[in-house]
């Protein structure tokens, strides 16, 4: 058989093996990461729509960090809302004009242990759905 064909076959096999090993490593890392966050959600926001994700926070004092990431085409608006009973208060709001690589991170301190969290994502792109991952992580006490 032609040595060039053999070389291509072995290169392809090596590439497939490397991709398989990387996929297994990534899934193992993902499993470890799954244990570190309190809440995780994927939100799909249609064009010119918004999504409101409610998080029932633990009924104890705590310090939390909210992270939103997306590789969608912007602009996207991220809004963090504190819910106390029936009252909603906007804590922080940011607009991201990135073309992919949207990242938003903020703290959410629940000093009374009675507050809940709403994460609102608005998609201003008229052509595509925005896929946003939301992570809520509990931080160690200060």
* CATH number, domain with residue 76: 2.60.120.510
**Arithmetic mean of pLDDT, 110-131:** 91
For residue 26, the model assigns a pLDDT of 41
CB 139 within 8 A of CB 64: yes
47 shares its domain with 86: yes
For residue 51, the model assigns a pLDDT of 93
Q: What pLDDT, in 10s, does the model give residues 7-41?
A: 544 555 555 555 555 544 443 344 344 447 788 99
CA count, 13 A, side-chain hemisphere, 2: 4
CB 114 within 8 A of CB 84: yes
Domain tally, the chain:
2
**Arithmetic mean of pLDDT, 99-127:** 90
57 shares its domain with 103: yes
56 shares its domain with 111: yes
**Structural domain containing residue 100:** 39-139
30 shares its domain with 56: no
127 shares its domain with 67: yes
54 shares its domain with 30: no
Q: pLDDT at residue 137 above 60?
A: yes
102 shares its domain with 76: yes
Q: What pLDDT, in 10s, does the model give residues 45-98?
A: 999 999 999 998 888 888 999 999 999 887 999 999 999 988 999 999 999 988
């Amino acid at each position: 058989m032609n040595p060039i064909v053999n070389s291509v076959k072995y290169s392809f096999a090596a590439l497939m093996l490397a991709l398989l090993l990387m996929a297994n490593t990534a899934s193992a890392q993902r499993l470890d990461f799954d244990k570190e966050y309190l809440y995780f959600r994927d939100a799909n926001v249609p064009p010119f729509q918004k999504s409101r994700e409610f998080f029932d926070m633990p009924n104890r004092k705590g310090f939390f960090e909210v992270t939103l990431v997306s590789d969608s085409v912007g602009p996207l608006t991220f809004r963090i809302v504190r819910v106390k009973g029936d009252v909603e208060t906007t804590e922080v709001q940011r607009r991201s004009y990135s073309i992919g690589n949207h990242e938003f991170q903020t703290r959410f301190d629940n000093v009374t242990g009675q507050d809940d969290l709403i994460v609102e994502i608005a998609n201003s792109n008229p052509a595509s759905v925005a896929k946003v991952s939301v992570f809520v992580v509990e931080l160690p006490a200060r």
